[in-house]
Amino acid sequence: MIKLAYGLCFLLLIGGLVYHFAALKVFNFLVPQDQGSELVASGIAYGTDTDQTLYVFRPKRAQPNLPILIFVHGGSWQEGNAADYGFVGRAFAANGFLTFVVNYRKHPQHPYPSFVQDVATSLKWVHSNALQYGGDAEKIFLVGHSAGAYDIALAVLNQRYLEETGAKSSYVKGVATLAGPFDFLPLDSDITREVFGKISDLESTQPVNFVRKDAPPFLILHGTADTTVYPKNAKSLFKHLNDVGATAKLIEYQGVSHVGILLDMAKPLRGNAPVLDDVVKFFKDTLKQ
C-alpha cells in the first residue's frame, strides 16, 4: 500500500504543478529518508510574520563548525511550505551540511519583493545563530528550486536586499539554483504576470540585470524537459555571469522536468540525475579553494 501511494504521488508530481503541493506533502512523508541526518528544530521564527520560519537538519554524527546550507523552496511565489521539504533537508545534512529549510512570505498577501527580502532576513538570522546548532557562519551556501532559486539569486546579486537587513554578500560562499527563472521579460506566463504585473520597474525584477564580477560562485542546474521554467533562463544567467567575469557553472540534465530536478534529490530517485551529488561536490570544491 505504501509503495502504491508513493507511486501515485510521484506520478502526480511529475505530471505537473496542479497537484504539486498536495502530492509533495505525501511524497515527503512516504519517501525513504537519509538516516545519517536528524531534524533538530522545527518552525523556528527568523522574523515576526508567521511565514518567516525555518527547519534545521544536521548530520547525526555532527562535527563542530559544520558548513551551512540554506534551502529555499519553490511554489510560484504563492504556495509551498518548508515542512514538506524534509527529504531535501535530510539529504544535505547527511552529506555534512547544517541545513536550514526556509519558509517565506508569499504573494498576494505579501507581494514582491517580500519573498526576496525574506531570503536576506533568513541569511542574517542564520549567520547570527549558526553557532548554537554547530555551524560555521563563515561557510554559508544557498540552494533554491524554481521561485526559490529566483529569490536567492536576486537577493545575492542585488546587494540592496542584504544591505537592508545588515547581512553581507561575503556571508555567502556559493549558490546553487535548480530550475530557476532569471530572465523572463516580457512577462512570459500567467504566473509571472500575476506576481510581477503591477511592478512599474520590471527590469529591477530580473536577476540577470544585477550580475557582478564579485558575485559568489554560481552552480546553475536545469532540466532540458522543463516546460514550466524554460532552460533559456539558466543559459541566460550563466552567460551574463560569465560576461562580467564571475565564476559560474551550468549543468543541464537531459530529459529532466521542472519538478523532476527537485525529486531527483530524494533517496530512491538519485539515479535519474546526479543533482544532489553535483551540488555537494560544487560546494565542497568551493570550500577547498
CA atoms within 13 A on the CB side of 87: 21
Q: Domain boundaries in the chain?
A: 34-288
Least confident of 37-41, 59-63, 159-163: 59-63
* CATH code of domain 34-288: 3.40.50.1820
Asked if the model's pLDDT at residue 2 lies above 70, the reply is no
- Whole-structure pTM value: 0.94
Question: Nearest CA to 148 among 197, 201, 101?
Answer: 101
Average pLDDT over the chain reads 93
Residues 161, 155: contact at Cβ < 8 Å? yes
- Torsion angle in degrees (nearest 10) through CA of 178, 195, 191, 160: -20
Per residue in 177-207, pLDDT (tens digit) is 999 999 999 998 999 999 999 999 999 999 9
Q: What is the pLDDT of residue 57?
A: 98
Residues 165, 121: contact at Cβ < 8 Å? yes
504521488: which residue's cell? 9
Concatenating the DSSP letter of every residue in 44-100 gives EESSSSTT-EEEEEEETTPPSSEEEEEEE--STTT---GGGGHHHHHHHHHTT-EEE
Strand order in the sheet with 66-72: 37-45, 53-59, 98-102, 66-72, 135-145, 172-178, 218-223, 248-253
Per residue in 111-131, pLDDT (tens digit) is 999 999 999 999 999 999 999
Q: How far apart are CA 88 and CA 280, in angstroms?
A: 12
